[in-house]
Amino acid sequence: MAETNISTLIDRIGEKLDGYKSAGLSSFVSSSFQSHSLPLLHIISRFQPEIPVYFLNTGFHFPETMAFRHVIADLMGLNIIDVASPVSKSGQRDDQGKFFFVNNPDHCCYLNKVLPMEPVIAQHDVWINGVRRDQTKFRATLLEEEPLADGKLRYHPMLDWTSKMIWEYRTEHNLPEHPLEAQGYLSIGCMPCTRSFQESTGARQGRWAGMSKEECGIQTEFVKAKA
Ligand code: SF4
């Protein structure tokens, strides 16, 4: 898409954020701090840097990700808040003593991603989320604004951005790269569930390799809840 169209999309994001603020709505962003997450964070820092950015600290992240979020916070002047599961790691093992991510990753994602997100959503009105249609089949079905339960809203400002547009924005603004990208990691989540490109068959396939699972639950659980 042409650069002018990117500018138009950015203006629209600014208008949306202004609209929520003018209406007295409280917004927050969630981010996994991957390279492709940075355009949205950068755009938010240009318009409303005070909007809190929540990071789901599962306890299973790569040390590189943990360090990178501090680099980005300093670079963009963001207000990053870690949230963690209310269930301790000792309560996240099955009968054989194995962490749930080994045999039941859906439950592990529920404990570490869905559960801790619930009180965050309850505190705010608008959840800004950087999903894109070109990432998964489920994301392709989303609307720019998705109503959630209890009158909350999820706003997807990057829905129609492509990976090429993300790359163009990153290049234009000289945004840094997640340190693991250079090692072939294109979609980076928790360590146990992430594979490098060489070990998998494509960008999203780097997550939960060998399983049909494509989503961690925070994208699907809350949107489904509106029905
Ligand atoms: S991505 Fe893997 S380790 Fe992380 S919460 Fe989900 S199942 Fe657990």
Is residue 161 domain-resident? yes
The rounded Å distance from CA 78 to ligand 1 centre is 25
Nearest atom within ligand 1 for CA of residue 111:
5
Percent of the chain surpassing pLDDT 90:
78
How many residues in the chain? 227
Is residue 18 domain-resident? no
Radius of gyration of the chain (CA): 17
User: Would you say residue 1 has pLDDT above 90?
Assistant: no
Is residue 85 domain-resident? yes
Percent of the chain surpassing pLDDT 70:
88
Q: What residues make up the domain containing 162?
A: 3-10+23-224
Q: 227: pLDDT confidence band, cut at 50, 70 and 90?
A: very low
The rounded Å distance from CA 28 to ligand 1 centre is 22
Q: What pLDDT, on a 0 to 100 scale, did the predictor assign at position 132?
A: 94
Q: What is the pLDDT of residues 139-148, one digit of tens each?
A: 999 999 999 9
Query: What value does the mean pLDDT of the chain take?
Result: 90
The rounded Å distance from CA 191 to ligand 1 centre is 8
Q: What is the pLDDT of residues 77-115, one digit of tens each?
A: 999 999 999 999 999 999 999 999 999 999 999 999 999
How many domains is the chain partitioned into structurally? 1
Catalytic residue at 216? yes
Q: Which residues contact 126 (CB under 8 A, 6 or more apart)?
A: 20, 25, 26, 27, 28, 152, 153, 154, 155
Residue nearest to atom 5 of ligand 1 (CA): 109
Q: 197: pLDDT confidence band, cut at 50, 70 and 90?
A: confident
CATH number of the domain that residue 44 is part of? 3.40.50.620
**Alpha-helix residue ranges (DSSP H) falling in 2-37:** 3-22
Is residue 140 domain-resident? yes
Residue nearest to atom 1 of ligand 1 (CA): 190
Is residue 185 domain-resident? yes
Q: 127: pLDDT confidence band, cut at 50, 70 and 90?
A: very high
The model's pTM is: 0.89
For residue 202, with 0-12 CB atoms within 10 Å meaning exposed, 13-18 middle and 19 or more buried, which class applies?
exposed
Q: 25: pLDDT confidence band, cut at 50, 70 and 90?
A: very high
Is residue 72 domain-resident? yes
Q: What is the pLDDT of residues 178-193, one digit of tens each?
A: 999 999 888 899 999 9
